Each structure stands twice: as structure tokens, then as C-alpha cells.
């Protein structure tokens, strides 16, 4: 992936309950038929936990690209093609939409169609599909659980890491879900992944220097979605060519916050997360394809 310039703080976050959750998932994976891997459609690669491959191993998997309504549609289509090339079923969704349950169930049935057909041939009658929902904090896992079950049964919040326990949830007569806490990996090999997660709210703001993340966000938008900063904050287009710290100063003044860069950074991050700067995708599928091609050549 391309790396935007600038010097930023190192980001790490691995609460103790996540280490426990990782162990529990490894112990309970044998009880499920398939895994729903939930990722943020705005950063489909960076919001994947690489440890899951070790835990899930060969279990059938459906990659749910949640918050697709906030992501760049063309990039989402490319990421779906990428995951499907790896052999996974995919679904771009918005956990808040009512049709999500039907679409998720259809993907589960499609994924297990051949296995269930083999079971029938052996005289094993079909039962409810047992699935596990896995994902890092704040990708919308509790929201999608509530949507699937049809009532507020999973604890939700606008802060990452609020779901601590494990519970089985029933979706009609056809699907049973094992909910698990969000799991973040203990070390980011690439600090840019940490910045992307922070920008979308997957890491608690209290652990961050918000102005550092705001600078990263400003640089990203001026690089990949030029004009949006100017349009949102009433700047001249050429102002986006300013050094990023100067651009933050200009945005702060346009917000009427004078030199309160901390408050301006907080407001900017909130507006990015709410989609007020438009739909965007931090992980660029074309850059991933280029890296894969380069690795193949090497």
C-alpha cells in the first residue's frame, strides 16, 4: 500500500479481554459450520485480523463488507472481486438496513450448499446453520447481530470494544450465531494500518493524539479525493496544496475555532466518520493488485 508522508505517533491497542477472546474463539471454532468475517468496507484489508486465518483455518467463510454505504462503491466492487479470488463468498452491506438479514442468510446457504447436499446423501438431515461472527472492534458487529436476530440482544455502543462476553443467538429456524467480542491483533506490523483504524474510529480516541490522525486524514483526502476538503470547509481548491499542518490551521479557522486545533481535529474526525466528506475507501484495491503483481514477479 502507498504510504502518505508525515511523522505520526505509534498506535497499539490490545486489551486483556481480547487475548482471552482469541483463545475462546480457537476453542469454539469446531462447533460452527462457517464463519462470517466482518470488515469495514472503507478499509477491507486493514480491518482484517491476520490472526483469524490461523484460528479459522479451513472453515468456510463469508466476508461481510459492512458500512458499504460509507465506502467508495467502485473500490468496494474491486475488493469483493479480490476476496472472491481467494475463494470466499462476499457481501457488501449496511448492518442498519432491514434487507441485510435475508442477504446474509442467502450467502450462508450458498456457501454451505455443497456440504449440505453431501450430508443429505449420507442421511444427515439439515439443521440450523451454526455460524460465528468475527471482526475487530467497531466494524458494526453488534449492530449486525441485532439486525439478524431482530431485536436488541447484543450490546452495542459507539465506542469500540463494548461487547465482552460470548452468547448464542438464534435467527429464525435457519441460523444460529455465536457472538464473540471484537479482536484486535497485538501489534500492527504496519503503522499505517493503525492510522487507518484510528481515522475510522476502530481505536478508542482516548488512546490517540487526535491532531496526528486528523493530519493523516487531511493528507489522505487531498491525495485521493481532491476538492472535498475545500468543498466541505469553504476553502479555495489551491489551499489543498498547502503543507498539511497549514491546511489544518486553515480548516480550524473556517470552523470558527481560531487556534483550537485539538477541537478542530476532533470535529474533523467525527465528520469523516459520519460520511460528511463523502464516501471514501482508505485501502486502495488497485494498490493491492499492484503489490500482488510485484510479489509474483519477485
**Could you say which DSSP state residue 159 is in?**
S
**103-160 per-position pLDDT tens digit:** 999 999 999 999 888 988 888 888 889 998 888 877 888 888 888 888 655 444 444 4
Cell numbers placing 21: 477472546
| 277 vs 126, higher pLDDT | 277
What was the pLDDT predicted at 296? 47
Average pLDDT over the chain, rounded to an integer: 84
Confidence band for 285, pLDDT divided at 50, 70 and 90: very high
What was the pLDDT predicted at 155? 46
Percent of all residues in the chain with a pLDDT value above 90, rounded to a whole number:
52
What was the pLDDT predicted at 161? 44
Sheet of 89-92: strands edge to edge? 89-92, 61-66, 34-40, 129-134, 175-179, 167-171
What was the pLDDT predicted at 187? 62
In the predicted structure, residue 66 carries a pLDDT above the cut 60: yes
> Taking residues 223-241, what's their average pLDDT?
95
**CATH 3.40.50.300: which residues of the chain?**
16-179
What was the pLDDT predicted at 13? 52
On the CB side of 256, how many CA atoms lie within 13 Å of its CA?
A: 0
Contact yes or no for 136/184 (Cβ under 8 A): yes
**191-229 per-position pLDDT tens digit:** 888 899 999 988 878 778 899 999 999 999 999 999 999
**Assigned CATH for 191-297:** 1.10.1580.10
Contact yes or no for 124/117 (Cβ under 8 A): no
Residues 6+ apart with CB under 8 A from 99: none
Percent of all residues in the chain with a pLDDT value above 70, rounded to a whole number:
81
In the predicted structure, residue 189 carries a pLDDT above the cut 90: no
What was the pLDDT predicted at 164? 47
- Strands 89-92, 167-171: pairing is unpaired
In the predicted structure, residue 290 carries a pLDDT above the cut 70: no
Report the C-alpha gap between 289 and 196 in whole angstroms: 19
CATH topology of domain 16-179: Rossmann fold (3.40.50)
What was the pLDDT predicted at 297? 47
Contact yes or no for 285/78 (Cβ under 8 A): yes
What was the pLDDT predicted at 57? 81
Q: Which residues are annotated as a binding site?
A: 66-69, 138-143, 182
Q: Which residues are annotated as a binding site for GTP?
A: 66-69, 138-143, 182
| 27 vs 10, higher pLDDT | 27
Amino acid at each position: 500500500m502507498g504510504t502518505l508522508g508525515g511523522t505520526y505517533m505509534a498506535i497499539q491497542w490490545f486489551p486483556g479481554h481480547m487475548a482471552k477472546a482469541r483463545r475462546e474463539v480457537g476453542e469454539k471454532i469446531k462447533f460452527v459450520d462457517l464463519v462470517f468475517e466482518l470488515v469495514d468496507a472503507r478499509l477491507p484489508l486493514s480491518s482484517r485480523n491476520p490472526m483469524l486465518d490461523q484460528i479459522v483455518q479451513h472453515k468456510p467463510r463469508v466476508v461481510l463488507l459492512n458500512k458499504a454505504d460509507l465506502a467508495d462503491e467502485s473500490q468496494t466492487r474491486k475488493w469483493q472481486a479480490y476476496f472472491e479470488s481467494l475463494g470466499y463468498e462476499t457481501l457488501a452491506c449496511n448492518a442498519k438496513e432491514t434487507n441485510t438479514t435475508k442477504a446474509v442468510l442467502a450467502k450462508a446457504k450458498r456457501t454451505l450448499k455443497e456440504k449440505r447436499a453431501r450430508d443429505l446423501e449420507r442421511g444427515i438431515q439439515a439443521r440450523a446453520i451454526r455460524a460465528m461472527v468475527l471482526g475487530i472492534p467497531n466494524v458494526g458487529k453488534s449492530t449486525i447481530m441485532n439486525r439478524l436476530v431482530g431485536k436488541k440482544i447484543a450490546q452495542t455502543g459507539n465506542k469500540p470494544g463494548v461487547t465482552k462476553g460470548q452468547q448464542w443467538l438464534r435467527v429464525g429456524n435457519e441460523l444460529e450465531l455465536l457472538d464473540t467480542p471484537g479482536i484486535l491483533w497485538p501489534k500492527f506490523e504496519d503503522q499505517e494500518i493503525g492510522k487507518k483504524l484510528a481515522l475510522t474510529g476502530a481505536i478508542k480516541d482516548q488512546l490517540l493524539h487526535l491532531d496526528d490522525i486528523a493530519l493523516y486524514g487531511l493528507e489522505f483526502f487531498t491525495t485521493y479525493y481532491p476538492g472535498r476538503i475545500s468543498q466541505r470547509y469553504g476553502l479555495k481548491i489551491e489551499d489543498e496544496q498547502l503543507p498539511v499542518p497549514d491546511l489544518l490551521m486553515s480548516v480550524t479557522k473556517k470552523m470558527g475555532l481560531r487556534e483550537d486545533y485539538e477541537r478542530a481535529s476532533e470535529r474533523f474526525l467525527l465528520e469523516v466518520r459520519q460520511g460528511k466528506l463523502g464516501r471514501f475507501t482508505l485501502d486502495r484495491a488497485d494498490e493491492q493488485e499492484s503489490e500482488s503483481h510485484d510479489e509474483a514477479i519477485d
